[in-house]
């Protein structure tokens, strides 16, 4: 971190005189003044009081790899971290990195995506500075047929993390949308590579609408999407949320590798808004009653038969 910022961070809410700063940092008064102006251009806010000094009054809301890594306590997930101001899609970057042998845990983050990808060929709106748009690389040694487990696991980790951090009562809509009061707050897109029926790698793409204002959503999403800030009434620190998510994700991922899908299934069912309701899904209609061992949604038809439905969309 910049030494001037470190100095302000060590003396929160205090005015520091130009003379004191120049003495502590061993630089001239005019160098201090230039640095402060440069930081102002980056979005930092300084209160300047004549004959008293400067106080750091605001920081730009920009993700910083060094400060994320300083907070992160995971064993693997989130390292290495690749942070970009802008990408077409973090999923595309993840695929590029995978072709170059990226290791498990690698995280690709972008402040903005210009061609964010959603499920079923849709696009994903990803404006700058207000969301978390990321792709996490995983390399579990599991059969290809178990890939849906990872989608459900990611939804559980994200839902639990949001509830813990914000007290917002997020729920999971099958298979992996996160809803708050019926509006979508987050989406998950898994892209897999396989070899001889085994998963070689997964790029888990996660989009979280963190601090978007209502006007930030395009017209067609106005009544369907919301953000954590809109739902909770206050902005959420994106770095704190990201770190909490990676820690929660690692917890569930390690549990899954040790104990299999059963514990994830139980928690997913408890957090789901899709169960014990009539659904129209995968060409059938009936009551959604739970998940099977593969992660398929079990739907009880009106004739009493129960059928498993693999990932598709539940009609509204």
Cis before 175 (ω within 30) = yes
Nearer to ligand BTN, 4 or 119 (CB): 119
Nearer to ligand BTN, 162 or 189 (CB): 189
> CB 186 → ligand BTN: shortest distance, Å?
8
Nearest to 134 by CA among 79, 91, 103: 91
> CB 209 → ligand BTN: shortest distance, Å?
10
Nearer to ligand BTN, 93 or 286 (CB): 93
Backbone region of residue 114 per phi and psi (left: phi > 0; alpha: psi in -120 to 50; beta: other values): alpha
**What is the C-alpha to C-alpha distance for residues 289 and 33, in angstroms, rounded to an integer?**
65
Nearer to ligand BTN, 85 or 259 (CB): 85
H-helix or E-strand spanning residue 67: helix 65-71
Helix (H, G, I), strand (E, B) or coil at 298: strand
> CB 13 → ligand BTN: shortest distance, Å?
36
Helix (H, G, I), strand (E, B) or coil at 225: strand
**What is the C-alpha to C-alpha distance for residues 279 and 90, in angstroms, rounded to an integer?**
32
Nearer to ligand BTN, 39 or 272 (CB): 272
Q: Name the site residues for ligand BTN (rule: CB under 6 A).
A: 89-91, 113, 116-119, 122, 124, 126, 133-135, 177, 187-189, 205-207
> CB 313 → ligand BTN: shortest distance, Å?
9
Residue nearest to ligand BTN (CB): 187
**What is the C-alpha to C-alpha distance for residues 38 and 188, in angstroms, rounded to an integer?**
38
């Amino acid at each position: 971190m910049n030494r001037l910022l470190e100095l302000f961070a060590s003396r929160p809410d205090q005015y520091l005189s130009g003379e004191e700063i120049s003495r502590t940092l061993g630089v001239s008064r005019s160098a201090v003044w230039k640095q402060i102006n440069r930081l102002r251009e980056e979005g930092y806010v300084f209160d300047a009081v004549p004959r008293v000094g400067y106080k750091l009054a605001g920081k730009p809301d920009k993700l910083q790899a060094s400060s994320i890594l300083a907070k992160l306590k995971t064993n693997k997930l989130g390292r290495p971290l690749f942070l970009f101001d802008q990408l077409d899609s973090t999923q595309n970057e993840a695929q590029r990195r995978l072709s170059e042998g990226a290791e498990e845990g690698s995280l690709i983050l972008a402040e903005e995506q210009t061609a964010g990808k959603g499920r079923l060929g849709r696009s994903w709106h990803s404006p700058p500075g207000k969301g978390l748009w990321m792709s996490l690389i995983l390399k579990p040694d599991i059969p290809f047929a178990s890939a849906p487990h990872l989608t459900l696991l990611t939804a559980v980790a994200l839902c639990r993390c949001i509830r813990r951090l914000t007290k917002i009562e997020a729920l999971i809509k099958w298979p992996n949308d996160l809803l708050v009061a019926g509006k979508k707050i987050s989406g998950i897109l898994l892209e897999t590579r396989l070899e001889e029926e085994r998963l070689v790698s997964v790029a888990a793409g996660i989009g979280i609408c963190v601090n978007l204002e209502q006007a930030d959503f395009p017209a067609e999403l106005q009544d369907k999407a919301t953000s954590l800030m809109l739902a909770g009434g206050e902005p959420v620190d994106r770095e704190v949320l990201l770190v909490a998510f990676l820690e929660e994700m690692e917890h569930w991922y390690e549990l899954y590798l040790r104990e299999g899908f059963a514990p994830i299934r139980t928690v997913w069912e408890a957090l789901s808004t899709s169960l014990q309701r009539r659904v129209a899904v995968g060409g059938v209609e009936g009551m959604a009653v739970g998940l099977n061992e593969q992660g398929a949604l079990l739907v009880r038809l009106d004739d009493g038969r129960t059928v498993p439905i693999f990932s598709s969309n539940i009609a509204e």
